[in-house]
Amino acid sequence: MAERRAVDTVESSLVLLTVEEAAQRLRIGRTTCFKLVIAGELESVTVGRLRRVPPDALPAYVAKLRRPSRAA
């Protein structure tokens, strides 16, 4: 249990997440998360040749999903 808390603390202090880590936090598949990143629906940055997701992009994405669409 203490080991899991230590992992949670480290994960919550990360400045950038891998796409896989972002997918885990959103509870979606890795491929779906990559599609969201490629489509620009989920904010990401490039570091060298790597794609990373800022942790604050996750609640921003969820907030977008929760907004009522104007077409409805």
Contacts of 22 (CB under 8 A, 6+ apart): 33, 42, 53, 57, 58
For residues 23 and 33, the answer to whether their CB atoms sit within 8 Å is: yes
Count of CA atoms in the C-beta half-sphere (13 A) of 31: 0
Q: In which order are the strands placed within the sheet that holds 50-53?
A: 17-18, 50-53, 45-47
Q: What is the mean pLDDT of residues 18-28?
A: 98
- pLDDT confidence bin for 14, thresholds 50/70/90: confident
Q: What is the pTM of this model?
A: 0.76
Tokens of 30: 């890795």
